[in-house]
Each structure stands twice: as structure tokens, then as C-alpha cells.
Structure 1
Amino acid sequence: MLLGGEGGNDLRKRRRKRCVGAVEKKDSEDETQMRQEKLFESQTSNFNSFPKRVLPLLTKRFLLLFLMKELRRLKDVMEELYHNFQDHLYSIRLSFSLPSLCFTIYSS
């Protein structure tokens, strides 16, 4: 009877005290900032292994390939629109919004 009733209550009280103590303890702003900086450095350590000149080139190459792919798709869509509506469209003006390359077609 002692093991089931009183022992269980003591264990719950201990757990509650630990939780309350953890909530009451707060880090100073400096400690929090240091912890965030260490986390950021550990997450970006893979990028730091590249030479500093290589990463921007990879990024530029990726962006250029992405833009070329999107522009080709846009060209195909525009050609299809033109063939479908060539009797109704006199001039086409495109409005691009980057980075998602959404566009709006205005006809006059």
C-alpha cells in the first residue's frame, strides 16, 4: 500500500518541482544570443567549407538556369496564347513580378 499510494505522489511532486525550477530559470540575453550564434554556425558550417569564390558562382549558376527554364516555359505559354487568340490580340504587354516569375497579360 505504501508503494502504490505515497510513493507515486512523491514522484509526481519531484517532477513538478523540476519543471517549475526549469521555468523559473531564465538565461540572460547574452547567453541566449551566444547559443543562437553557435546554432547558426553549426548549421552553416557545411557552407563554410567551400571556397568563398565558389559559393556565389554556384548560386548565380543555379539562378540563371532557373530563370532560363522559367523563361522557356513562359515563351511556350505565350506562343500558345498567341496562336489561340491571334485574331483578338493586337498587342501584348507582359508584367513580370520576381522572384516567382508570375506574369499578367494585358491586351489592347
Structure 2
Amino acid sequence: MTVEDVGFEANSIEIGATLIEREEVRFTPAGIEVFDAVFHHRSRLVEAGKIRTLEYDFEALSYGDTASRLNALAVGAKIRIKGFLATKSMKSRRLTVHITEFK
């Protein structure tokens, strides 16, 4: 299923990052595996004609088969993440990267 299939506005992210911190493997009440971690990103890009260095940490999570594969990664692993931005839970307003695929 794609964004076009469901008719919503686009919300996607693709970013390279290093796994720096992770929670213990856990499961939802429905038995779905969860990956919950912190990643570090560092890059240089051009903004308004000037080189800008970006460096920051961000929270990310994933569910199901993708979470299972992510939970097998060691801290320090460098990956390319694809996913979307959303709140971590219905009770939170803080944005988190929800990982749908990686390599």
C-alpha cells in the first residue's frame, strides 16, 4: 500500500544514522515486537548558499518484522532509515521517526 493508495498527504523521511542507544526488546499487548532507540545523525549540506553541518540525536521506533531485524543490530551500527514522522504514542506530542524499512 502506498500514500497514493490511501489518499493522504506525503509524510516520509530517509536518513542515514548510527544506532547509539536502545531499549530492551519488548512487545505490545497484542504480541507485536517493538524496537525503541536513539540514533545519531551527522551531515553537511548547502543552505542559502552556505555549507551547514548538522549533528543531532533523534528517537525512533518500529514494530513487527522490521522491529525484529532492528533489534538484532549492535549499538554503533550505521544504517539508512526510511519511514515517517509521528508522535510516539497517542498521549505524546513529541515527534519520533517511525521506521518502516532500513538497510
Tell me the TM-score normalized by structure 1: 0.17
- Structure showing the higher helix proportion among its residues: 1
Max Rg structure: 1
Q: Which has the higher contact order (CA 8 A, sep 6+)?
A: 2
Greater strand content = 2
